[in-house]
Amino acid sequence: MPELAFSRRAALRGLGAAGLLAGLTGCGVPAAYVPESRREGRDRSESDRSVSFSNWPLYIDTDEEDESRRPTLDAFAEKTGIEVRYTEEINDNDEFFGKISPALMNHQQTGHDVVVVSDWMAARFVHLGWAQKMDRSAQANVSKYLDPQLRSPAFDEGRLHTVPWQSGITGIAYNRKALGREIKSVQDLWHPDLAGKVTLFSGLDESFSLLMQGNGADVTKWTETDFHRMCDQVESMVKKKHIRRFTGNDYTSDLSKGDVLACQAYSGDAIQLQADNPDIEFVVPEEGGELWAESLLIPNLAPRKANAEALIDFYYDPEMAALLAASVNYVCPVPAAREVLAASDDQETAELAENPLIFPDEDMRKRLVVARDISSAERSSFAKRWNGIVGL
């Protein structure tokens, strides 16, 4: 389980790179957008058998005896003859965006062939025309095995420019024994017996969907009214001191120590929490939970596009997807990997196939949706409202 998984999901978003982007797109600056016809550069994949892959720290499989080795990358190199230059340089979506956006705005290479960013950030790349369309005819595994529920998010219909690396669920984690009752609904978080014992995510993109779902909003097409209704509710709870605080990666510590009894949480973290404390439960609320993804994309002018497409497709082989899922414990975007894990001779590995937080069952899937992203026109004012509440 990646120790930094929660920090990349829950960091407080400032108005640095995000504000810059909102200004560029909100004001309609034409230089920012790159049309499809100008995104591809000269592809050197045949002459340069390598690929540059940038990811988050601790977000890939490692060898148990040698943590510097990554078995799936070794397997890709052996199968294809393509060397992978793998770096763990992405620690924050906005920080990384700020690092490579000057090159993209000036129609220059970034030095990256494939990167992993959260879907709300991937939406910015897609809307700006900074992600290349992939050749699905060269990606048979993606075409065949990609989870149907993740195939066509609002920001990238048909998943033409992005492919999920791993997925996850935003729901509620709570200590059933200490609380003495079940939590089934987002509204249960506002019960008087949880006063001062609840935390929410500080990041707007990480928080809003679940809270809106708790109010009955359809988050696939939520409105400004839905947003402000949610903010009014949260602001009221902050003023009543019902919400203990807003958190980043430290929410797991609060729950483990008993400082809080219930909190917004991610499915991947819940697996680790439950291993240490069986009294911790994770629930997808009756009103629904958010199914999110962190996705692979190929930046404009990437010099080894075909090699990047081959690497992406390699991870959609169910065998490779199973190895990755067994290591990182997020929702696997390749449902067929479940059968691979179930057939394992190792009992602990085989049990992962039955874990609904890695392979959601039908009942859970009925309550999961992919939320519409916050548009560039909305972001500045919405972030200002939300960050004002977080800072109360």
Identity of the amino acid at 102: P
Q: What is the dihedral of CA 140, 145, 148, 152, to 10 degrees?
A: -40
**How much is the average pLDDT of 238-249?**
93
φ/ψ of residue 116, rounded to 5: -115, 120
Tally helices (H) and strands (E) across the chain: 17, 10
Place 27 in a pLDDT band, splitting at 50, 70 and 90: very low
What confidence score (pLDDT) does residue 67 get?
A: 80
pTM to 2 decimals? 0.89
The beta strands (E) that lie in the chain are given as 50-54, 83-87, 114-118, 162-175, 198-201, 243-247, 262-266, 280-283, 289-297, 368-369
What confidence score (pLDDT) does residue 384 get?
A: 97
**How much is the average pLDDT of 222-227?**
98
CA-CA distances (angstroms) from residue 164 to 55, 87, 269, 294, 342? 13, 18, 18, 6, 22
The first and second tokens of residue 69, run together, are 């080795």
**How much is the average pLDDT of 97-112?**
96
- pLDDT tens digits, residue range 83-95? 999 999 999 999 9
Burial of 188 (0-12, 13-18, 19+ CB in 10 A): buried
What confidence score (pLDDT) does residue 250 get?
A: 81
Nearest Cα neighbor of 290 from 216, 211, 351 is: 211
**How much is the average pLDDT of 232-249?**
94
Count of beta carbons in the 10 Å neighbourhood of residue 366? 11
Q: Does the structure show a pLDDT above 70 at 9?
A: no
Q: Does the structure show a pLDDT above 60 at 18?
A: no
Burial of 192 (0-12, 13-18, 19+ CB in 10 A): exposed
Round the average pLDDT of the chain to a whole number and report it. 91
DSSP conformation letters of 174-187: EEHHHH-S---SGG
What confidence score (pLDDT) does residue 1 get?
A: 35
What confidence score (pLDDT) does residue 66 get?
A: 86
Identity of the amino acid at 224: E
Identity of the amino acid at 202: S
Place 64 in a pLDDT band, splitting at 50, 70 and 90: confident
**How much is the average pLDDT of 355-364?**
95
Q: Does the structure show a pLDDT above 70 at 313?
A: yes
Q: Report the greatest alpha carbon distance in the chain.
A: 65
In DSSP terms, 115 is beta-bridged to: 54, 297
Q: Give the span between the Cα atoms of 34 and 280, in whole angstroms.
A: 47
**How much is the average pLDDT of 264-281?**
92
φ/ψ of residue 388, rounded to 5: -65, -35
Q: Does the structure show a pLDDT above 80 at 149?
A: yes
Q: Give the span between the Cα atoms of 100 and 121, in whole angstroms.
A: 13
For residues 197 and 244, the answer to whether their CB atoms sit within 8 Å is: yes
Q: Does the structure show a pLDDT above 70 at 338?
A: yes
CA Rg value for the chain: 21
Least confident of 6-20, 29-43, 149-163, 327-341: 6-20
What confidence score (pLDDT) does residue 31 get?
A: 54
Identity of the amino acid at 252: T
For residues 92 and 11, the answer to whether their CB atoms sit within 8 Å is: yes
What confidence score (pLDDT) does residue 145 get?
A: 98
**How much is the average pLDDT of 163-172?**
97
Share of the chain above pLDDT 90, in %: 87
φ/ψ of residue 68, rounded to 5: -80, -15
Pairing assessment for the beta strands 83-87 and 50-54 based on DSSP bridges? parallel
